Structure 1
Amino acid sequence: MFLTPPTSASSSSSFFARFAGSITAWSGTTLAFCLALGLVLIWALMGPLFHYSETWQLVINTGTTIITFLMVFLIQRAQNKDSLVLHLKLNELIAAHKGASNRLINAQDFTEDEIHVLHQYFCLLAEKAKHDHDLGRTHSVEEAEENHQEKRRARARK
């Protein structure tokens, strides 16, 4: 049974997704930076005209605070989507590779302790490969321990 992507997203959610994606993409352009720099320069040049008053300072402080506040949410939304898509692609590669450990699918949902245990295990595997002078060989978690034990048994027999 194959899963198909959902197609019944609400129009407001879909609109917001497109809007957030567009704003996030545009905010990273050279034009957006130049416009922001231009606004800051105009504000700075108007300082003498307004005698560097508190109101003059309040304009830039309020404007930048509001823009920053809103951009945090838009950028986080885009980052969440990108992160999820990356996880899905990695999950597909793990699921499709015959020798890969399927328990690593959705590893992003592991607790910090579980991640730490796996990290330590992979560090151990890297160390074993280093001692075996076989850095190019890759394994699943299960295969790696099995292969390492077979190598030890083969060396012991010699």
Structure 2
Amino acid sequence: MREPAHRVSTRAIGMWTVEALTVVLVLLGGQVIWWFVDDRPSRSAHWIVGAVWLVLSIAYVVVMPRWRFRVHRWEATEHAIYTQSGWLRQERRIAPLSRVQTIDLERGPVSQLFTLASVTVTTASAAGPLTIHGLDLPVARELVEALTTSAVRERGDAT
């Protein structure tokens, strides 16, 4: 199976970085709470966990968004939608447009900040929907329109 032709927007790196920082800040909050709640006289466990957490957090924030950008790809033809996603566990999927049931454009707060969107294509498949994250908003709108037009033309029953 060949690699899909199109990459997501380069701004997706920024979006994924902000999302990673959000996760890291929530975990930092847990670390801080643990520091104040723990009444043991020795703080060595805090320093060890904190140091490991800091190294892993920096690696996650720096590496993950760029790695995802290198992996995430998509392509739409008149008969199928192709996706490749993931960063630790990578997945490549093809869905015939004859099996498409719904096509959704989604924009969360962070993606809106970066003028990005996600397109989710739900099919009659036990594998679940295909989602393309990090598309430029105009590209996402155009993709939704093209997929909708192509799916309507297909003669399948979407089951």
TM-score (norm. length: structure 2):
0.32
Question: More helix per residue: 1 or 2?
Answer: 1
Higher-RCO chain (CA-CA 8 Å, sequence separation at least 6): 2
TM-score (norm. length: structure 1):
0.32
The structure number with the bigger radius of gyration is: 1
